[in-house]
Structures are given as C-alpha cells and as structure tokens.
Chains A and B, each alone.
Chain A
Amino acid sequence: MSTVKQEGDKLTAICKEVSRQHISLYAQASGDFNPIHIDREYAENSEFGDNIAHGMMVAASISELMGVNFGHNWGETGKMKIRFRHPVFPGDVVTTSGFVNKVTQIGEKTLVQCTVSVSRQTGEKVISGDTSVTLTKQ
C-alpha cells in the first residue's frame, strides 16, 4: 500500500484491455445478461454497433485503485460517486487514474478525498467521479 495522503498526490494508475471474454465472464459473475453486453448480433444492430462492457465492470478498477492505495480502509469506510459517461467496447484499453484533492484531519482520523476517472485509449473519459476514504491512525 502506498502512503498517498497529500493533496495533489497521484494514485498509482491501472491499465487494462477489455475483451469479449472478460465481458462474458462479468455477465456470469454479476448475473447481468443484458444483450447489449453479450449478444453480438443484437449489439451490432444497436446504435453502439458492438457489444459494450458493463459499466460496473469498468468501474471495478476504481475500487481496485482505491484498494491498492488505501488497503483495508477502502472496504471499511470507502465512498464513491461516479458517472458513466461513455461506453467501453471490446478491444478498448482503459486507464484508471486519480489524485488526492483534499485531506481533512478529523480528530484522530484523516479524510482523504480523491478525484478519479477511467479513460479509453483515445483519451475519452468513460467514467468520472469522486471517492473518499477515512484513514485511522495505526
């Protein structure tokens, strides 16, 4: 786990390629078999022209980012507010990044607020949002 907790600190970024196989696996794991995700013919006739990844599948990397940077504190005190802005297609490479935008001391605890986003290889932001986590003095 890193010691990120200063305003302006960057969180260690995560980069992944999204494949049809991953989307199919996520459908099984989540129980979300919406045809826009898994039915190629259906998706090709939609305005997207192809299958799209589940939003929560892509957003999982934000939680991973926070877990990697803040460990147990994320699962115990983490908050996230995100907006799904654009679809992610099979073959896309997405990068999840973030930075600390505010640190507030509250007694023995430290509230760390971050700005996070997920971008496609084109630079287009597909998810944007805010997260926060409360750190307790060890």
Chain B
Amino acid sequence: MNSSINDAEDPSINYSNLLVGNPISRRSYVVDRELVRLYKLAVQDKSRLLTTGSDISKVPLAPPMSISALSLRGVVNDLKIPGGTLHVGQETEYKKPVAIGETLHCEATVSSNNVRGEWRFMGVELKVTDSKGDIVMNGKSTILLPVKSE
C-alpha cells in the first residue's frame, strides 16, 4: 500500500530509540464471551464456534484470528501508533487452541526498525502464551509509520 498522509510520529515516543529486541508491550487479557461475540459480529464470522473437551464438558474456542487481533492491541496502544500508520504485512502461527475464559499474556518486541524516505519500517514480533505458559500464537507484523517531515 502507498500513502503520503501528513501525520507525524508521536513526539512522546522516540521511535529511533527502539532497538531490535526492545519490548513494546506486555499485556494480559481474559478472552471472554463478550469479546468473542463483538469480534465475530465485526468480522461477520457466522461459522459455528469450534469446541474442546468431551461431549458433556464442551468449551467453546475463540476464533484463532481474534487472538491475533488481541496480540496487536497492546502494540497499537503502547506504541502510540500515529494516524496514517499502515499495516502492510502479517505472519501468524497458531500453536494451541484458546478456550473462551482463558487468560492470555501478549508480548510484543521490536524485530526491525529502519527509516526509508518518509516512512519508518518497523517489524514487531508477537508472542501469546496462555495461563499454563504454553505458547498459543507467534507472529510478526510489519508496519509503516509516517516520519515527520523536517
């Protein structure tokens, strides 16, 4: 995608100082029914929720992509992503299904950070673990932040 929106990086964050390996965000969330309901409504996912467990103790599972969305929530807020930022690439690897009601721990770290022209190309590594410490999702986002014109 191409853009030339005249937005600047958030002055309260010095994006140049973010080095590879630096943490961006570390947050925990409970994947509750309301969150999943809202997510499915927004993305118009009318498919039936998959379940885990035996017939008498079935637990509905969160849609995998709702976990990806959750993993990016901290990035958007803690990185104070400015208007005009573009999300250009996403890699995701699901390792374990997530039952509704589970508590997830989402971590994001810088994997690359370079300026080319009027854009800052930032790679963000994502890791999501459940309450047992098991990895449920790994990922990588590539975002372009508009660099303030001098």
Which residues of the partner chain A approach B63 to less than 8 Å between Cβ atoms? 60, 63-64, 67
Bitwise interface map of A from 40 to 78 toward B, beta carbon under 8 Å scored 1, else 0: 001000111000001111011111100110011011111
The interface residues of chain B lying within 8 Å CB-to-CB of A30 are 39, 42, 69-70, 72-73, 76
A112 at the interface (CB under 8 A from B): no
Give B contacts to A, CB under 8 Å: 1, 3-5, 35, 38-39, 41-45, 47, 50, 61, 63-66, 68-70, 72-73, 76-77, 81, 83-98
Main secondary structure of the interface of A (DSSP, over half): helix
Chain B CB within 8 A of A81 CB? yes
Asked whether, in the complex, the Cβ of A25 is within 8 Å of the Cβ of B41, the reply is yes
Count how many chain A residues have C-beta atoms less than 8 Å from C-beta atoms of the other chain.
45
> Chain A residues near B72 (CB, 8 Å)?
30, 32, 56
Chain A residues closer than 8 Å to B76, beta-carbon distance: 30-32, 34
Assess whether B1 is in contact with A64, with CB atoms less than 8 Å apart.
no
| Cα–Cα distance between A16 and B44 once the two chains are bound (Å) | 8
